[in-house]
Structure 1
Amino acid sequence: MIRRPDMNVDYQDRLDFLYGRLNYEWLGMPKLTEELRLGRMRKLLRLLGDPHESLRIIHVAGTKGKGSTSVMIAAALSASGLRTGLFCSPHLHRLEERFSVNGQEATPDELVALTDAVRPAVETLDAFCADSRYRGPTFFEITTAMGLLHFQRKQAEAVVLEVGMGGRLDSTNVVHPELAVVTTISFDHTRQLGSTLGAIATEKAGILKRDCPAISGVTQPEARDAIRHVAGQRRCLLRELDHDFRYQYEPPPTPLTRPAAGRVHVKTWRTDWGEIDLPLLGAHQAGNVAVALASLDALAERGWNVGRDAVVRGFATLRWPARVEVLGEAPWLVVDSSHNVASAEALAATLQACFPATRRTLIFGTSRDKDMRGQLQALLPLFDQVIVTRYLENPRAVAPEEIARTIEELDGRVAITAVDPAGALALARKRTGADGLICVTGSLFLAAEARALILNEVAAPTVGRILA
């Protein structure tokens, strides 16, 4: 945690307390899943009065797309008139981003108050755990509890709760939701979740609860069968992509002169939603829209009412930073938080389909626990030159020299090395023409640091929205 001179003393003190906790986002996930225990989270919430029990929750898991799907569902619910909380992680720039209501992040003062509310409960559990072999509450457990408490205090009428990792043992999995959603399954966190799609899907399906309806965007047979098995055990009414609901993606017309998102036609067992403009760039977002709209139909069967007009209004103002986010033009400047093979492949396809054909520069940095070779194999064919770097505010970064060696092994080219994101951006601008494209990706941490640099450099009218 970097101390900023402009921070309020009370605010900084609370951040110091939170970031002083065991933080797997910084250290990497534990090798042994036994370190992830829901009992500790339940005890923490009990000491806080169980704020989650008064909330109507949509619980969203998945390897890829869970954040985008969560923000789509939340945008539609907000536009329908419901006071809607959204819990997503990790954050890009400020911890308060993790819990918002109707698109408004918690304020610094609210963060201070929430930290003060949970701290006595944390200290009670610390004392209890001191005489046992178990740890006290972790950073993610504490911030999850803060989010749930925030939504209770703000009297949220709906809460979209994104899983942090996996599902079965995730800190969010203490809730009893109105609806459980699993977006996609691919390989990530295999050490903790399993080395097969079936094993990973079983962990993700751990969020399914008895007699609670579920939506699945999973289509691979092995993973789909695993989710069906869990749903059957727990008597869940399961609605599946390509079985109970379908979508057809319409790419933007070519040739393109500017980035464009395309459209999607979604039809569920209940509603023909017609064609809707994609709120985010990429064909993969069409599948996320389908899962989001199917989720709304599942909620409608439980008495919720969110129509097409609310979806269109919500999508029109939806913002999701660092997800193929266009932050400038001449050259096009794209920041994306892809950090595994599936997301790198989706980014590559999006750059091909949704952006003008032009000379392209890749700025790449990643984390030690990620499949670097797989990401690079997906991305390298699209780029004329590569600049490798590392993020600075987290110890998990891979050294640029190691990335450069891997690139040379993969396709023989010599990557340019930059010691930090600022240097990488400066080099990319010098070496990329005004009609070209620069893409920063490989890690959410790199995306966050590059995005902060870009936003601090210029308050461009294109920041934070798709250029159409």
Structure 2
Amino acid sequence: MPKTTFDAPYLNMLDQVNHTRHLAPLQARINHLRGIVQTLWPKGHPTKFVHVAGTNGKGSVSKFLEAGFGLFGHAGAVTGPHLFDYRERISINGKAVTKAELVSAWEDVVWPLLVDQTEEQQKKLGYPEINLLLALVIFDRRAVQWAALETGCGGRYDCRMALDVEACVLTNVGDDHRKTLGEEVWQRAIEKAGIARKGVPFLTTVAEGEALTAVEQTVKHQKGEMHLVGQTKLKAFDAELAAAVPNLMEDSLLHAKHQRENAALALATVTRLKPQVDRAKMVQRIATMGYGGRFHKMADGLYVDVAHNPNKIEALANEIQQRLGDKPIVLVLGLSGSRTGADVFKPLLPLSKGVVATSPTYKGVPASLLAASLQPPVAETVLTEDNPSHAVLRARDMAQQLGGVVVVTGSMYMIDQALNPDPYVRYMNTHYGWRFPEKGDSTPFAHLPASFAQL
């Protein structure tokens, strides 16, 4: 028998051959969007972009890149999904764009474009393409010089592949989205590394195993420039952080080890593209910035984290132990889709004194089923509450009796319903899709796998 060798380009080809009916339309959408961008900006879009992919951390890396590039002028980021308000998806200089800017970009450019395409029965643009086009219009109007673009799900067939970029960044390859991207880690690595472009630097902290092999082969095949940000650089960042910021603020993102790794990757990327960057100033900027939903303290005794897969939950469990110590923890948990509580939340349960299981309206796992799936191991007290906002109130009552704190995590849809401060936006979010006449066409992602709705 001949020796078996791993060949990422060949395996990707086999995937495309086997699934042409599904994958070819995704590539066609990218080509179509590229044509629209070229029509709107015939001389090329004036902003320089960095494309960021990965299972976890890509939103944080995008925000850290925005902070770093902000040392050289106006910088932006496109991230998603949003926590409370659509405006969060597009930021410039660390602040969400205004409602007026979005309305103007929509009414002046994007909405007329969509209407014209519908009349001409051309290929329709979906939610991810619309988000990106709105950002491109606003970035142009605000003279944004650099912007980070967070991938939705995967990478190779992500709509941001329609743009030319200055660098590609891959944070990691985790366990999420197996049904969409593949059961094997090397499948998911090939998909995510597919953002590589010819002659463009590709930076990653993927460190070992089949994932690294798949990434290296994919980047080489697509003629990208591979740069591994390894343990030496990660340790060096800790030293730079200690020198630049001797005393971190209580709510700094950089208390968490995974966020320091994200920051080191962002710093390496900015340094690669702008060697003259003042690294100490960039580190200081990152150390003092906030990012909603990343172990965010919303009120005294109330923390929110958007962890929704096993890798993120494990990182959250480590951060809770580091940041909250021996304080009694009460969890508010909610899930959407087909995940089970035992699979996702297991690392958190031993840390908690109580759990309130709840459920978002959109694709929510019923609270009773979630609570049942937590056995074992489970906290001392488990309650069920279908209404997410009521669930938070019950958890706060429990935490007050224990002298502890509440951590709300899991589904972003649940967190939005529970804590969104704007009742009108919350209503729009909760009732998304009410205009779609048929259940089978209730989202703009009917032609895509379910996880693409998170883009």
Normalised TM-score (structure 1): 0.78
Matched, 1:155 2:182: no
Query: Structure 2: how far apart are the matches of 1:373 and 1:221?
Result: 27
Cα-to-partner distance string for 1:100-146 (whole Å, 9 max, x where unaligned) = 2112322222111111211222223334446xxxx511112111111
User: Is the partner of 1:231 in helix, strand or coil?
Assistant: helix
Query: Letter of the aligned partner of 2:137 in structure 1?
Result: L
Query: Letter of the aligned partner of 2:61 in structure 1?
Result: T
Query: Letter of the aligned partner of 2:273 in structure 1?
Result: L
Match of 2:257 in 1: 283
Paired residues, what number? 396
User: Which structure shows the higher helix fraction?
Assistant: 2
Cα-to-partner distance string for 1:315-373 (whole Å, 9 max, x where unaligned) = 244110010111222xx211000111100000001101122312111100011143533
User: Is the partner of 2:311 in helix, strand or coil?
Assistant: helix
User: Is the partner of 2:308 in helix, strand or coil?
Assistant: coil
User: Is the partner of 1:53 in helix, strand or coil?
Assistant: coil
Does the 8 Å CA contact 2:253/2:289 hold for their aligned counterparts?
A: yes
Match of 2:334 in 1: 365
2:182 aligned to which of 186, 194, 199: 194
Query: Letter of the aligned partner of 1:220 in structure 2?
Result: E
2:367 aligned to which of 392, 400, 424: 400
Distance 1:333 1:248, change over 3 A: farther
Query: Letter of the aligned partner of 2:66 in structure 1?
Result: A
2:117 aligned to which of 125, 129, 154: 125
Match of 1:85 in 2: 76
Shift of 1:51: 8.2
Match of 2:397 in 1: 430
Query: Structure 1: how far apart are the matches of 2:311 and 2:335?
Result: 15
Shift of 1:238: 1.4
User: Is the partner of 1:357 in helix, strand or coil?
Assistant: coil
Query: Structure 2: how far apart are the matches of 1:34 and 1:436?
Result: 52
Distance 1:197 1:52, change over 3 A: farther
Most deviating of 372-381 and 190-199 = 372-381
Shift of 1:52: 5.9
Which consecutive residues of structure 1, in runs of 5 or more, have no partner in the other structure?
1-30, 250-263, 457-468
1:311 aligned to which of 282, 287, 299: 282
Query: Structure 2: how far apart are the matches of 1:358 and 1:241?
Result: 36
Distance 1:411 1:103, change over 3 A: closer
Matched, 1:245 2:245: no
Query: Structure 1: how far apart are the matches of 2:43 and 2:384?
Result: 49
Query: Structure 2: how far apart are the matches of 1:365 and 1:441?
Result: 7
Match of 2:450 in 1: none
Query: Structure 2: how far apart are the matches of 1:128 and 1:358?
Result: 61
2:414 aligned to which of 446, 455, 460: 446
User: Is the partner of 2:45 in helix, strand or coil?
Assistant: helix
Cα-to-partner distance string for 1:210-267 (whole Å, 9 max, x where unaligned) = 0001110112311111111112112322111326733268xxxxxxxxxxxxxx2369
Query: Structure 2: how far apart are the matches of 1:189 and 1:388?
Result: 23
Query: Structure 2: how far apart are the matches of 1:103 and 1:170?
Result: 24
Shift of 1:291: 0.7
Query: Structure 1: how far apart are the matches of 2:404 and 2:121?
Result: 56
User: Is the partner of 1:172 in helix, strand or coil?
Assistant: helix
User: Is the partner of 1:187 in helix, strand or coil?
Assistant: coil
2:152 aligned to which of 142, 164, 167: 164
Query: Structure 1: how far apart are the matches of 2:397 and 2:84?
Result: 27
Distance 1:273 1:230, change over 3 A: farther
Query: Structure 2: how far apart are the matches of 1:309 and 1:35?
Result: 45
Match of 2:309 in 1: 340
CA RMSD, aligned part only?
2.7
Query: Structure 2: how far apart are the matches of 1:403 and 1:220?
Result: 34
Match of 1:44 in 2: 36
Normalised TM-score (structure 2): 0.80
Query: Structure 1: how far apart are the matches of 2:339 and 2:104?
Result: 36
Distance 1:454 1:141, change over 3 A: closer
Query: Structure 2: how far apart are the matches of 1:348 and 1:455?
Result: 31
Cα-to-partner distance string for 1:6-35 (whole Å, 9 max, x where unaligned) = xxxxxxxxxxxxxxxxxxxxxxxxx95555
User: Is the partner of 2:347 in helix, strand or coil?
Assistant: helix
2:63 aligned to which of 60, 64, 71: 71
Does the 8 Å CA contact 2:76/2:90 hold for their aligned counterparts?
A: yes
User: Is the partner of 2:239 in helix, strand or coil?
Assistant: strand
Query: Letter of the aligned partner of 1:396 in structure 2?
Result: K
Query: Structure 1: how far apart are the matches of 2:82 and 2:137?
Result: 18
Distance 1:71 1:170, change over 3 A: same
1:140 aligned to which of 128, 131, 137: 128
Distance 1:371 1:202, change over 3 A: farther
Query: Structure 2: how far apart are the matches of 1:351 and 1:436?
Result: 12
Matched, 1:300 2:269: no
Does the 8 Å CA contact 1:388/1:400 hold for their aligned counterparts?
A: yes
Distance 1:384 1:223, change over 3 A: same
Query: Structure 2: how far apart are the matches of 1:455 and 1:127?
Result: 35
Query: Structure 2: how far apart are the matches of 1:227 and 1:380?
Result: 34
Does the 8 Å CA contact 1:265/1:275 hold for their aligned counterparts?
A: no
Matched, 1:419 2:393: no
Match of 2:295 in 1: 324
Matched, 1:98 2:89: yes
Cα-to-partner distance string for 1:124-177 (whole Å, 9 max, x where unaligned) = 3334446xxxx5111121111111121111111111111111111111111111
Matched, 1:110 2:79: no
Match of 2:3 in 1: none
Query: Letter of the aligned partner of 2:394 in structure 1?
Result: L
Query: Structure 1: how far apart are the matches of 2:44 and 2:175?
Result: 30
Query: Structure 2: how far apart are the matches of 1:138 and 1:96?
Result: 18
Cα-to-partner distance string for 1:183-215 (whole Å, 9 max, x where unaligned) = 111011212211111111111111110000111
Distance 1:154 1:350, change over 3 A: same
Which consecutive residues of structure 2, in runs of 5 or more, have no partner in the other structure?
1-20, 425-455
Query: Structure 1: how far apart are the matches of 2:184 and 2:213?
Result: 13
Match of 1:461 in 2: none
Distance 1:43 1:417, change over 3 A: same
Distance 1:312 1:47, change over 3 A: same
